[in-house]
Structure 1
Amino acid sequence: MCNPWFCVGMGWLPMSVGVMVMATFTISYSISVSLGHVPAEFPYISDTGTYVPESCIFGQLLNIAAALAFATMYVRYKNVIEYNHNEDSRVLLWNKIGLVMGSLAALGMSMVANFQESNVLVMHMVGANMCFGIGILYCYVHSWISYKMMPFHASHHEYMARIICSVVGSVSFIFTSIFAAVAQSKWEGEKPTKWSPEDGGFPEHIVSTVSEWILAVSFLLYFFTYIREFQKIRMEANIRLYTEDMMPINDPEV
C-alpha cells in the first residue's frame, strides 16, 4: 500500500523539497570532507559546495530544490485563494505578498547554488540573505494565514508547528549573522573554509555554523508541515484550442 504521507494528492511536492535539500547537503558534505576541503566539525553549508567537484553537485541539486520550493509555495498560494474566495481580504493580500517573498527566497537559493563564495562572494551573500532572511518572513506570513484559516481550513497543530519553525529559524538567523561577524573580526587564518582553533574566533565560528544548520533544518520542517494539507490537492490542466481569430475550437457552444 502506498504511504499516505507522500503519495496522496500532492503531498509528494513539499516532501520532495526536503528530500532534495537533504540529498544536496549530504552528498556535498560527504565529498568535501572526504577530499579535505572542509573539516568534519560543522562547516558552513556553503563551504561544502565551494570547491570542485562538490560545487557542481551542490549547484545542480540546489537549483532543482529551488524550483521545487517555488512550485510548493505557488501551490500553497493557489490553495489559500481557493479557501478564501469570500473570506477576509487581508488574507488574500498577504497571500500575494507571501508569494512574492517566496519567489525571492527561491531565487536566493538558486543564487547561493550558482555563485560560490570563493568566486563571487557578494552575490553569494545576497542570495543567502534572500533565501534565509526573506524566507523567514515568508514563514511568518503563512503562519499568520494558517491562524486566520483555523479551524476549518487549517489545524491548530499545523499553525503551532509553523510558528515554532518560524521562531527557531529567525533566532538561528540572528545567531548565524552576529557570531559570523564576531568570528570574522577575530580570524587570523589563511583558509576560511578550514577554520581551526588556532585561527582565532573559533568558538564564535562554531556557534555561527551550528546556527546555520539549525536554520536550514527549520526551513525543511516548515515545508513538511504542508504535506497533510497538500494531500487534499489534485492538479488539473485546462487546455483550450483557438482558431486564428481567437475563437475557441473546443468550446461546446461552437
Structure 2
Amino acid sequence: MLCFLRGMAFIPFLLVTWSSAAFIISYVVAVLSGHVNPFLPYISDTGTTPPESGIFGFMINFSAFLGAATMYTRYKIVEKQNRTSYFSTPVLNLVSLVLGLVGCIGMGIVANFQELAVPVVHDGGALLAFVCGVVYTLLQSIISYKSCPQWNSLSACRIRMAISAVSSAAIIPMIACASLISITKLEWNPKEKDYVYHVVSAICEWTVAFGFIFYFLTFIYDFQSVTLRISTEINGDV
C-alpha cells in the first residue's frame, strides 16, 4: 500500500480506485433498485434514475477532475524527461494532453446531463470522452515506446499498447452499433430488433471504460519517483 503513496503515485491510484467504485456502486444501486437489467446495461443507464443518478454524477465528476490531474502530471513528467534526453517532439505530448483534457470535459458532460433527459448532449459528451480517451492512450503509448528503455520498461510499453489496441478495436463497433439503435431506453427485451446492437455496444463500452482504468494503473510506477512543487511569485511592492 505504501508504494501507492510515494511521490505522485496517489493520483493515478486514486483515479483508478475511485472510477472503479463509481461504475460498480452505480451499477449495484441501479440493479438493486430495479431500474436496469443486471445483464449488460450501458454505463450511463446505471446513472440515469435517482438515487443512483446522484451517486453517478458526483463520482464521475470527481473522476474527471482526477483524470485531468493525472494527465497534467503525466504531461509534466514527459516534458521533464524529454528535456533530459530528447526522444520525441514536444507537440506530441501537448496534443496528447489537450485531447485528454477534452475527454475529461466529455466525462463531465456525461455526469451532468442524464441519458434520458438530454440524450443529444449526453451522447455528445460520451463520444468526446471515449474517442479522445482512446486517442490519448494511443499517443501516450507511442511516447512510452519512444522513451524506452531509459524512462519506460519494454513490458510497460507493450501493456499500454495492448490496452490501447483493445480499446481502439472496441470503440468502433461500440459507436457503430449504438448509432443503429432507434430508441434510447433502460429496459431491453431480447426479442426486440435492436437488442443485439445494444448488447454489442454495451460490451464494447464497458471494455473501453475499464481499458482506461487499467491504462492509468500502469502510470502508478512512473509517478512514484515524481514530486510536483507549486511556486508562488508576487509582483510589485508589498
TM-score category (smaller protein): over 0.9
3-state SS of paired residue (2:93): helix
Whole-Å Cα distance in 2 between the matches of residues 230 and 91 of structure 1? 22
Q: Which residue is 1:252 aligned to?
A: none
Q: What residue is the counterpart of 2:231 in the other structure?
A: 238
1:152 CA displacement: 0.5
Counting aligned pairs with the same residue, the percent is: 37
Deviation readout 1:165-217 (Å, 9 max, x if unpaired): 111111111121122234x15x7xxx721111132232332121111111111
Deviation for aligned residue 1:91: 2.9
Moved segments of 4+, more than 6 Å: none
What residue in structure 1 maps to residue 222 of structure 2? 229
How many residue pairs get aligned? The number is: 238
- What is the 5 A alignment of 1:165-204? 165-182=163-180, 184-185=181-182, 192-204=185-197
Unaligned runs of 5+ in 1: 250-254
Deviation at 1:230, TM superposition (A): 0.3
Structure 2: gaps of 5 or more residues: none
Correspondence for 1:156 among 122, 145, 154 = 154
TM-score computed with the length of structure 1 as normaliser: 0.89
Q: TM-score, normalised by structure 2?
A: 0.94
SS at match of 2:191: helix
Contact 1:109 1:128 in 2 (8 A): yes
Residue equivalent to 1:95: 93
1:113-132 matches, within 5 Å, as 113-132=111-130
Q: Is residue 45 of structure 1 aligned with residue 57 of structure 2?
A: no
Q: Is the radius of gyration larger for structure 1 or structure 2?
A: 1
Q: Distance in 1 between matches of 2:27 and 2:187?
A: 13
Give matches, 1:137-156, under 5 Å.
Answer: 137-156=135-154
CA RMSD of aligned residues (A): 1.7
Please show how residues 39-118 of structure 1 align to structure 2 within 5 Å. Answer: 39-85=37-83, 87-88=85-86, 90-118=88-116
